[in-house]
Amino acid sequence: MTTAAAGPTEVEVAIIGAGMAGTTLATLLGNAGRKVALIDPHRVHHDEFRAEKIGADQMQLFEKLGLDKMVMPLVTPFTDIDVFRLGQFFAREKKWEYAFSYGRLINGLRDALPQVPITVGKVAEVSTGPDRQRLVLADGAVIDARLLVVATGHSESVRRTIGVERIELSKAHSLSMGFDLAIAPRDCAFGAITCYGKRASDRVAYLTVFPIGDKMRANMFVYRTVAEQWTRDFRADPQKMLRELMPEIAAQCGNFEVASPVEVRQVNLTTTQGHRRDGVVFIGDAFSTTCPTPGVGIGRVMIDVDQLHSVHIPRWLETPGMAADKIGAFYDDPVKVASDKAGMRVSFYAKQITTETGLEWRVRRLRNNTARQLMIIGRKMRHLGPRREPGMA
C-alpha cells in the first residue's frame, strides 16, 4: 500500500475502482508491462447483488482478452435452459451460460492481478490536466499518473470531485431481485429455467433460475419500484407470489421454497455529461448504466476495457500529452459507441415490449405471441401424442 511518507508513486495509468472494469483493465495493462496503480476503498469486494451470470458472447470477450482462464474456475457453467412462455414449455435451449457470485468473481480476479498491487484507500483529491494527473488519498498518499481511468461504477464521489455529471435517461427503470431457492441443483431435472411474464399488467420481464455452485439461484426482473406494495408483498412472501405468477414451473422449482432474503436493486439508465476532459477517461458503469434485464452490462464493460487496452491506451502513451482531444477518440470509437447504443436500445425495448399498452405495442406482442404459439403447436404436432415434459423420465 502507498504511504504518505514514501513520496508520490509514479505510474503510467492510475485506475480508480477495482470492480469488473478496473480489475480487468489493470490485469491487461499489467500483463502488457505497463506501470499501473489500482485504487479501491476495500481490498475485498463485499458480496453484493450484481450481475450473476453471463452468456457465451460475454465469455468469448473474456477469451479474446485471455482472461477466461482466470474466470472459468470462478463460475458455474450450465447448459439446457428450459424456456417457458405464455404459461407453457416453449423450448430447451442448448446454449452455455456461466453463473457466479459477483463478489467472489471480482475477488478472484483481484487475487490474480499481475504485478499490480491494489492500493486500499479513498481518493480525497483529484487534479487532472493535459500532461499529468495527481491523486491524493485520504491518508495523504499521492499517486501521479499520465492517464486517470475512472471505473467507480455507480459511486458518485470521484465523478463529483472531477465535476462530471450523471444524466438519468430512465429513473427507476426496473427492479432486479435475487434470491436462493431451497431446491438443490442435483434435484433439478434441467440446467436452468427461464420463465417469461404472461400479462403486461404483471410487469414481469422474466424469472431465471440457475445453479451457482451447490445452490439454485433465482433472478427476477420486473418493471416496478421499490416503494410499491407489490414489491413489499414479494419481499414478504416470494413463494406465494411466484406460485401465483408462474404456476407452470412451480413443481420444477421445488414449489418455489425460498432459502434466503430477497435482495432488491432499483436500476436507473444513465449516461455521462461533461466527461471530455484532459487526462481522464470514464469506463463501465462509471460512464453509463443499462438495465440487467437484457443482460448486456458485463459485455458493455468488457468492450470498454478491450477497446481501451487494445486500441487507445497504447496509442495515447506513445505520444506526449493526454489532452481531451486524444481521449475523445475512445468516446467516439465506433465499437464502443455501437455497444453503448445497443445496450441502451435493448434496455428500453425490453421494458416497452413487456409493459406498454398502446396499440403499436399490443400489436407487436400479439404478433410475437402468435408466432410463439404456432411454434408450440407445431412442436406438439410433431411429437404426436402426449408431450414429454422436460426432465420427465
With H, G, I as helix, E, B as strand and everything else as coil, classify residue 58.
helix
Q: Which helix (H) or strand (E) holds 150?
A: strand 142-150
Handedness of CA 141, 20, 43, 165 (dihedral sign): positive
153 near ligand FAD (CB under 6 A): yes
User: Which region, judged by CB under 6 A, interacts with ligand FAD, from 83-91, 151-159, 338-346, 370-378?
Assistant: 151-159
Q: Which is nearer to ligand FAD, 24 or 355 (CB)?
A: 24
Q: Quick count: other Cβ atoms within 10 Å of Cβ 268?
A: 15
Single out the residue of 269, 292, 326, 350 in contact with ligand FAD (rule: CB under 6 A): 292
Judged by CB under 6 A, which of 152, 194, 288, 307 binds ligand FAD? 152
Amino acid, single-letter form, for residue 296 = V
Work out how close the CB of 386 gets to ligand FAD at its nearest, in angstroms, rounded to a whole number: 36
The angle that helices 297-307 and 56-64 make with each other, rounded to 10 degrees, is 20
Nearer to ligand FAD, 89 or 307 (CB): 307
Which residue of 265, 276, 372, 380 would you call a contact of ligand FAD, by CB under 6 A?
Answer: 265
Of 93 and 391, CB closest to ligand FAD: 93
Residue appearing with cell numbers 472459468:
72
Residue nearest to ligand FAD (CB): 19
Q: What track of x and - describes contact with ligand FAD for positions 158 through 187 (by CB under 6 A)?
A: x-----------------x-----------
**If DSSP codes are grouped into helix, strand and coil, which group holds residue 107?**
helix
Identified binder of ligand FAD from the candidate list 8, 10, 31, 41, rule CB under 6 A = 41
Q: How many residues bind ligand FAD (CB under 6 A)?
A: 39
CA distances for 2 relative to 106, 149, 279, angstroms: 22, 18, 22
Contacts 24+ apart (CB under 8 A), 320-324: 320/131, 321/130, 321/131, 322/130, 322/131, 322/133, 322/146, 322/147, 322/278, 322/279, 323/130, 323/278, 323/279, 324/130, 324/276, 324/277, 324/278
* 113/123 with CB nearer ligand FAD: 123
- Compute the distance between CA of residue 114 and CA of residue 31 in angstroms, rounded to an integer: 6
Stretch 112-131 residues interacting with ligand FAD (CB under 6 A): 122-123
Orientation angle between helical segments 334-355 and 359-383, nearest 10 degrees: 80
Of 194 and 355, which has the nearer Cβ to ligand FAD? 194
Torsion (CA) 50, 54, 59, 62 in degrees, nearest 10? -10
Selected from 9, 31, 155, 352, the binder of ligand FAD by CB under 6 A is 155
Q: Specify the residue, 89 or 351, whose C-beta has the smaller distance to ligand FAD.
A: 351
Stretch of residues binding ligand FAD (CB under 6 A), selected from 35-43, 74-82, 182-190, 338-346: 35-43
At 98, list the grid cell.
456461466
Residues of this chain, 297-336, that bind ligand FAD according to CB under 6 A: 297-299, 301
CB of 371 to ligand FAD, least distance (A): 26
> Considering the rule CB under 6 A, would residue 217 count as an interface residue with ligand FAD?
no
Verify binding: residue 103, ligand FAD, rule CB under 6 A.
no
Cα gap 203→194, rounded to integer Å: 16
Judged by CB under 6 A, the residue of 2, 13, 15, 19 near ligand FAD is 19
- The alpha carbon dihedral of 22, 23, 26, 28 has a sign of negative
Please identify, using beta-carbon distances, which residue of 22 and 211 lies nearer to ligand FAD.
Answer: 22
Residues 42-61 as x/- pattern, contact with ligand FAD by CB under 6 A:
x--x---xxxxxx-------
18 is a contact residue toward ligand FAD (CB under 6 A): yes
* DSSP-assigned letter for residue 33: T
CA distance 331 to 93: 36
Residues lying near ligand FAD in the complex (CB under 6 A) are found at 16-22, 39-42, 45, 49-54, 122-123, 151-153, 155, 157-158, 176, 265, 267, 284-286, 292, 295-299, 301
